[in-house]
Amino acid sequence: MGNRLKAALSEGRLQRGLWLNLPGAVTAEMAGQAGFDWCLIDGEHGPWDPSAIRTQLIALEGTGTEAVVRVPVAEDWIIKQALDLGVKTLLVPMVNSADEAAAVVRACRYPPDGVRGMGAMVARAGRYGGIEGYAARANDDICILVQAESRAAMEDLAAITSVDGVDGVFIGPADLGADMGCRDDLANPALWDAVADGIATICQGGKAAGIIVGGANAEARMIDLGVTFLGCGSDAALLQTALSELAAK
């Protein structure tokens, strides 16, 4: 078992990845073969279809690129489904407080440390019973990343970061900007000052800081601030841009 992405983040090594918003195993396989450190299957702003996500996970597994899944909401039963699919790294959106972060950790852990249901022996996570002692090791192997994307989350960020079991905090600039009143002005300096302060808080708390931005200059700035879980784009956005540019010729 083990989790290479969790180990890399805990060591402070930069890990670049791609958002997978398009369904289907072919795109996932192509993205995995491209050489990213991780690819994130987006079940929040992409389809939440466990059967389809299973095929994407299998496709990524053959490429050596680590798979991350973003669940649509921080509900115990949804987190359980994702973990039983064999997901070892989760991104959980809209976590607004330390209490909510702690609840996410409990949902990811087997008793006595949490409330995850004991079903992996008949699921892909435990290779349908083929991994002896899966439950004894799973709590330590799961990488838990929570999203701070509201003013409430930013105000409680130091406490969220201090929650035992949270491996990293990902700042969502689009939702944070909307909550700050600059939905249509995401270049607003106030938003990026808040992002910079948030990254500093996460790093000071000893956790991995994450974000997704576009463009080499923006990526370089985030790396300088201390981000180690760096989203470099989305398959859907990249395809749309390429198609539009080709059509414009």
Q: What does the pLDDT look like over 139-180, one tens digit per residue? A: 999 999 999 999 999 999 999 999 999 999 999 999 999 999
Which run of H or E residues covers position 214?
none
Q: Give one DSSP letter per residue of 145-210, joined into a string.
A: EEEE-SHHHHHTHHHHHTSTT--EEEE-HHHHHHHTT-TT-TT-HHHHHHHHHHHHHHHHTT-EEE
Catalytic sites, residue numbers: 45
Q: Give one DSSP letter per residue of 19-75, joined into a string.
A: EE-S-SHHHHHHHHHTT-SEEEEESSSS---HHHHHHHHHHHHTTTPEEEEE-SS--
Q: Would you state the pLDDT for residue 208?
A: 98
What is the rounded average pLDDT for all residues in the chain? 96
- Residue 125 pLDDT exceeds 90: yes
Residue among 193, 192, 228 nearest 210 (CA): 228
Tokens of 145: 């990343």
Q: Would you state the pLDDT for residue 157?
A: 98
pTM above 0.85, yes or no: yes
Residues 6+ apart with CB under 8 A from 131: 1
- Residue 1 pLDDT exceeds 80: no
Band (pLDDT 50/70/90 cuts) for residue 2 is confident
